[in-house]
Amino acid sequence: MPLELSVLDLVPVRTDQSTGDALAATVALAQAADNLGYTRYWLAEHHNMPAVAASSPPVLIAHVAAQTERIRVGSGGVMLPNHAPLAVAEQFALLEAAHPGRIDLGIGRAPGSDQVTSWMLRGAAGRDNTDIEQFPQYLDDVMALMDSQVGVRVPLQGRQYLLKATPAATSVPRQWLLGSSMYSAHLAAAKGLPYVFAHHFSGKGTAEALATYRAEFRPSERTPEPTTFLTVNAVVAETYDEAVALALPNLQSMARLMTGAPLAALDLVEDAEKSPLTPTQEAMVQDGLARNIVGDPEQAAQRLQALAAEFEVDEVMVHPVASARQGADPRRSVPRERTLELLAEALG
């Protein structure tokens, strides 16, 4: 089967951008993906990170879906322990009503931030890890709340109160379970949910997680067979050397994150080329170059096809991580757009 392409976007913020600039660049990137025939466009949830503006997936989804025509738009993902299930269900029921058949609800269990920010997000009721322990039940609640024929019954003072996310839903978003551990693979299989393992994080554990998911999968009404795809970081340019230069700021930022160094907005290429790194950070950068899709169109297409074959998927979600050079339009991310364009052309 032909390889389908999708996009994961963290709404990166470069040193030459404001938050508004980064949002404008995301809209332009989403419109490019829409025009190029990409399948879906997912927006992440991360908090208190200077280089990431994707803190509220429902707001971003509404913004992007209103300015695109065909592409599915969703969360990659909503970190459910940070939110009340009813709030998530209401948000995505409304998004589905506004853009029927185009909304994906990807759900994750990780905090998406540091412990202090997570503590503030969850409020007093969720600060004892109860929300994490009840995660499987919360998954069920979100889907039931969005279904106008089901809803959730809440016992209170001897009575049953029926809750629904919206009064007259005619369709529901497609729900996906996201994860970076074996826990998520077991849970997605048990609940008969589509599943995506975060291969773009480290590239480790993917084969085991997908094999477990497929082996243990229990068919459900909405998902009769195992359904999954691959996520991968990518920078594609006309030459390999230019792709490496555009990838360097993101690779350095990730190395600093993993070694506990202070975080900052994403460097421009010229600044990254002069940025000092520790030997440990430099090794992480080189590992990222080898693991990510970085190269010219032919190289990138071959790597993507090889990954898809290795993990037996017919869809790849590309996380375009290219930065920009000095003098670039702050309201665009042309190297990220070119990554999508060159990949689409190379894969035909």
Alpha carbons 87 and 96: distance in angstroms, whole number? 14
The residues, ordered by sequence, that sit 6+ positions from 139 with a Cβ below 8 Å of its Cβ are 80, 107, 175, 177, 187, 191, 193
pLDDT at residue 341 in the model = 98
Is residue 125 over pLDDT 60? no
* Residue 147, token pair as written in the block: 């279904």
Cβ atoms within 10 Å of 341's Cβ, excluding its own? 17
pLDDT at residue 62 in the model = 98
Is residue 118 over pLDDT 90? no
pLDDT digits 0-9 by tens, 33-79: 999 999 999 999 999 999 999 999 999 999 999 999 999 999 999 99
Alpha carbons 127 and 82: distance in angstroms, whole number? 10
Is residue 161 over pLDDT 80? yes
pLDDT digits 0-9 by tens, 182-225: 999 999 999 999 999 999 987 889 999 999 999 999 999 999 99
Alpha carbons 148 and 26: distance in angstroms, whole number? 33
CA torsion through residues 237, 29, 6, 142, sign: positive
Is residue 319 over pLDDT 90? yes
Tally: H helices and E strands in the chain: 14, 11
Peptide bond into 112 cis (omega under 30): no
Average pLDDT, the chain: 93
pLDDT at residue 149 in the model = 79
Give the start-to-end residue ranges of the domains of the chain.
Answer: 4-238+294-347
More confident residue, 81 or 76: 76
pLDDT at residue 115 in the model = 74
Q: How does residue 151 score in pLDDT terms, banded at 50, 70 and 90? A: confident
Going by the DSSP 8-state scheme, the letter that residue 189 receives in this structure is H
Average pLDDT score over residue span 248-252: 98
Q: DSSP 3-state assignment of 318?
A: strand
Is residue 129 over pLDDT 70? no
- One-letter amino acid at 278 equals T
Cβ atoms within 10 Å of 262's Cβ, excluding its own? 7
Closest-CA residue to 34 (of 11, 5, 58, 59): 5
pLDDT digits 0-9 by tens, 281-294: 999 999 999 999 99
Q: Which fold has domain 4-238+294-347?
A: TIM Barrel (3.20.20)
Is residue 114 over pLDDT 90? no
Q: How does residue 131 score in pLDDT terms, banded at 50, 70 and 90? A: low
CB 103 within 8 A of CB 88: no
Going by the DSSP 8-state scheme, the letter that residue 267 receives in this structure is P
Task: Decide: residue 319, CB within 10 A, 0-12 exposed, 13-18 middle, 19+ buried.
Answer: buried
Is residue 268 over pLDDT 90? yes
Characterize 37-51 residue by residue with b for buried, 16 or more Cβ atoms within 10 angstroms of its Cβ, and e for exposed: ebbbbbbbbbbebeb
pLDDT digits 0-9 by tens, 270-283: 999 999 999 999 99
Q: What is the CA radius of gyration of the chain?
A: 20
C-alpha distance across the termini of the chain, in Å: 13
Is residue 127 over pLDDT 60? no
Closest-CA residue to 88 (of 166, 181, 154): 166
**Residue ranges in 178-226 assigned as alpha helix (H):** 182-191, 199-202, 206-216
pLDDT at residue 175 in the model = 97
Is residue 124 over pLDDT 80? no
pLDDT at residue 130 in the model = 65
Task: Decide: residue 158, CB within 10 A, 0-12 exposed, 13-18 middle, 19+ buried.
Answer: exposed
Whether the full predicted model's pTM is greater than 0.75, yes or no, is yes
Cβ atoms within 10 Å of 225's Cβ, excluding its own? 10
